Amino acid sequence: MIKSKIVLLIVCITFVLISAGCIDNSAKFDNDTAWTSYGQSKYDSGEYDEAIKAFDEALKLNPENTDAWLYKGFSHYLSGDYDESMTAYDQVLELDPENISAWYGKGLVYFYETKIYPDIDSYNNAINAFDKVLEESPNDTRVLILKAETHSLRCDYENATKAYDKVLELDPENVDVWSMKGEAHYYQREWRESIIAHEKAHELGSSSGFYMLHRADSHFQLGEYDEALKICDYLTDAGSRNLDAWELKSSILYAMGRTEEADACWDRANEILYSGSDVL
């Protein structure tokens, strides 16, 4: 009797835990399509380890299931396992060389590599992968932006600008792209074009102090000291600790012949630099 009660208690507790989601009531399927669907549901809910297990079960039953390979690649990528992710994408492309989702996935991995371990091969591989996607979907702004950012990471600002221009043809109100276009022009020393792009971003709602500083510097480089100073006044208002803004303001004031004010700004910049506090 006691043994029966114990068994009944264990069964009840197990049922409660399963119902509460504390125990994985592992799915069992007899075909790869069902395993793939189950894996996709786990992927959608962010359970990437469980998703990968499901896709592996699908691939045991059908090693040519491209959806399982593809989502396995996505799951590994989002788990931070980029090598396994790339392996999965390569498997997809062996089976379907024109699969743009796999090319997009490979591009993301290469793009990540360019940010962490920059080298010419990673840059070129990322661009080539994104170009494969754009052959099929030339108006995919998501991919165009990634391509532009890859060019920027390589300091190829001319091609970055071309990609940003294409995005803005499709999405002229994209404030982030206007800002990035402004930066690409800035690093090419194309001061006027940089100002125009950053002003457009500002009109659309950008309030980045970093981009405003580059807009001020562009005005300064063009000898437009009043416009440059107006922006720096804003950036150094109310006890600002923006070191770069104070330094640029000092340079502008020196160029305008206002040496006492310039010296005061330079002193403020040094005070911030040597204060031992974080520069804001």
- Tell me the CATH number at 242: 1.25.40.10
Q: What mean pLDDT is predicted for residues 172-183?
A: 98
Asked whether residue 252 is domain-assigned, the answer is yes
pLDDT value at position 30? Answer: 87
Asked whether residue 124 is domain-assigned, the answer is no
pLDDT value at position 277? Answer: 52
pLDDT value at position 276? Answer: 60
pLDDT value at position 26? Answer: 57
The pTM for the full model equals 0.82
pLDDT value at position 178? Answer: 98
pLDDT value at position 113? Answer: 87
Q: What mean pLDDT is predicted for residues 49-72?
A: 97
Asked whether residue 190 is domain-assigned, the answer is no
pLDDT at 114 over 90: no
Asked whether residue 40 is domain-assigned, the answer is no
Query: How many domains in the chain?
Result: 1
pLDDT at 20 over 70: no
pLDDT at 180 over 80: yes
Averaged confidence pLDDT in the chain: 90
pLDDT value at position 2? Answer: 42
Domain holding 236, by residue range, is 208-275
pLDDT at 269 over 70: yes
Task: Find out whether 114 and 126 touch, Cβ atoms under 8 Å.
Answer: yes
